Structure 1
Amino acid sequence: MGTFKIEGGHQLKGSIKPQGAKNEALQILCAVLLTPELVTINNIPDIVDVNKLISLLKKLGVKVEKLSQGTYTFQADDVNLKYLESDEFKVDGRGLRGSIMIVGPMLARFGKGYIPKPGGDKIGRRRLDTHFEGLINLGAKFRYSKEEQFYGVEADKLKGAYMLLEEASVTGTANIVMAAVLAEGRTTIYNAACEPYLQQLCKMLNRMGAKISGVGSNMLIIDGVDSLGGTEHTMLPDMIEIGSWIGLAAMTKSELTITNVSWDDLGVIPATFRKLGITVEKRGDDIHIPAHTDGYEIQSFIDGSILTIADAPWPGFTPDLLSIILVVATQARGSVLIHQKMFESRLFFVDKLIDMGAKIILCDPHRATVIGHDYKSTLKATTMTSPDIRAGVSLLIAALSAKGTSTIQNIEQIDRGYERIDERLRAIGAHIERIE
């Protein structure tokens, strides 16, 4: 198990480029299974979760070639269907939440898709109902082995259908879209997720020959086609990393430039950080954060009531950044209520921040009130363990701003979502060391 040793209290300076988007990569990589032709993908992040999925694709028989850093070709012209029902797959599939998205393309192209109950962050219940109910609507037969926790769907031929999703699940929508593009007839998906990464998937599929309209809205209309061809695709920058670096700059009173952020795809993220009093400047397609030497002040609502920041489906605020917002608020002037609606275990990491001296009241599993220090009292260094990807980075940001030397254990969780984070932070002046 790896550990980060972090000497906090140092100002950072320079520029940092965000990696390719993790959540987009998990969808796009599964989509290569929809065609026997060559697919080239650029800006793939070199992180644990993505590398696990690439390894899974290789075991499925997909030919994978790395052309350069972040650029790969994939060709699924000789898929090994026997691997899907092997004991090895039951182990491999469990280690990655994103593995669920191979089910839709496998079902569409080969008539069957299987998956063990996937793993991922321990942040609360993450139901798979939306995925399988959508595939059943397209005509698939569903089976589940409770003993092995193994799911399966099978169909001779999928047929288009109208469906109203119970929740606007991003991965659920992606799975259904990838199945529907090769179904017979028209599929209408209402209450579809419309995150930029889902839009990227739809645009890629259209370049491959799919017929998807309504991209970017919550109603997708898909006219099935007989087959799809190859294409080239470039990932968006990771919006969660971008938000993480905004928070890092504010907490450490650092002047940072985040380059090539794809401003048009950031939605309400810049405005939400501005509500905390953080200056977020647009310079071309870069974000510039000046050094907040005088701190930053949380806004109130118009009627003077305490600001509430809550997650919501796109174009609302992404739940993956609420942990960052919470940490940044610990040194602001004023108070804020953080409302994490989606996952009931995601705020439990605040006990570690309280140990560091943060003023946080955990109201219930979904809500926490943060009373900012305004830098009158700095956070204190401590030893802690990363419980999941986003909480891990939030604790890392807290440690970089704290007085003294902190250690963070279980950093494999952070490596699942952030590429060479220690190297990149050292390049802008952070005092961080990886200890194996």
Structure 2
Amino acid sequence: MIELLPLFMILSLVVFLFSGYPVALVLTGVTTVFTALAIGLDLMSVAKLQLFTLRSFALLADSLIFPAVVPLILMGVILARSGQIESFMGTLSHLLRRVPGSLPITVLVVGILIAPSAGLIGAAVGTLTIATLPTLLAQRYSASVATSAVAAAGTLGVILPPAVMLFFLADLAELPILETFTGVLLPAGLLFALYVVYFVIRGRSAPAEVQIPQPTRLTLKSMISILGPIFIVGAVLASIATGWATPTQSGAIGAFAAFCMMILTRPLTWNLYKKICVETATIVAMVFLIILAANAFTLVFRILDGDEMVEGFLFALNLGTWGTLLFVLAVVFILGFFIDWLEIVVISLPLFMPVLVDLDFSQHVGSPLMINVWLATLFALVLQTSFVTPPFGFALFFLRGSAPPGVSMADIYRGAVPIVGLQLVVLALVLLFPWLATAIASGLR
């Protein structure tokens, strides 16, 4: 019975995650209970309790990636709450007004700019829904097309550089951040192109958009609104790619640039400043509480030999190299129905990654570094697809919760189906042709 404690630990975590309690509290509670059991059964000495603080300090102090999360989240909150996204959307849709489906395509671009720094899928999709869905509906797009644009934009942006998710994947997969960024570029670019083709086709059969009065010439404010967000995200990526700044310094550059752009485009009031600070602090506190709680959970799980149990279970299935990989991706896919990527990455990746690294994909992919890049890209794509897959897609519920009253869950499901289909096509291509994930990283070395 004692050897089954890691299994009971996992099952307890799953049960309480589905209960609706905050994830950080669930992780803390389960860890506390099983720590007490381990000490009571002489599986863990009291002296090992100091490992919690030592590991937590080492996790945060030695990482060049985790500190970058704070300014990136601040950058996303500033862009989302200062009205800059609405200005960007209005200006870009006016420039693309002759293209069929111009407004959904505009929403895609908005998602690429705001979702990477919004961090969590709920924040990304919720922000995009509030900012863009009413405009799409007012422009005579059907509810299914409008919601599909928001779902596609929110989930695509979450895996694109400088997405917060990629920083966590890089840290846990022991990858340089630049290689992690480049791994998703080609698959995400291909997916964006497929989205654009889809919305152009749908736009040809949609009613004509209502023409919103626009200035006859571009003003300084409109130029800032469209070039500013592009410049901000580009500055963050360029400073990392060139080695001019660390990830943390690059995030600070992005946050400062977003703040300056906000001052140029609208008055800075105390209430707005306070709202931005409080929202940023809330998101950051939640993110790092989950990180610390997951770190404690994995420590106890390993003390109970849970990592050996997971490895033994996967090998006992005798699925072979590809079968094991597909099984792990399927588990991650199912987890994405119920919880955000942060919890999945910080809990499952430390358990599954050692097993996947031991599998031999050298003939299919290449060097160990490129294998890790490929695996991290697959994790990102699987999570993205899971978030919008009916009926349990995690992002779909956030979309419904933030949507106007006239939008039904059936509309959201109908809109999500073609988006999922396109994502599965890209995922299959990356599985079969790993160079899609590794080509740019290989060229940099």
Q: Could you tell me the TM-score, scaled by structure 2's length?
A: 0.26
User: Structure 1 or 2: larger strand share?
Assistant: 1
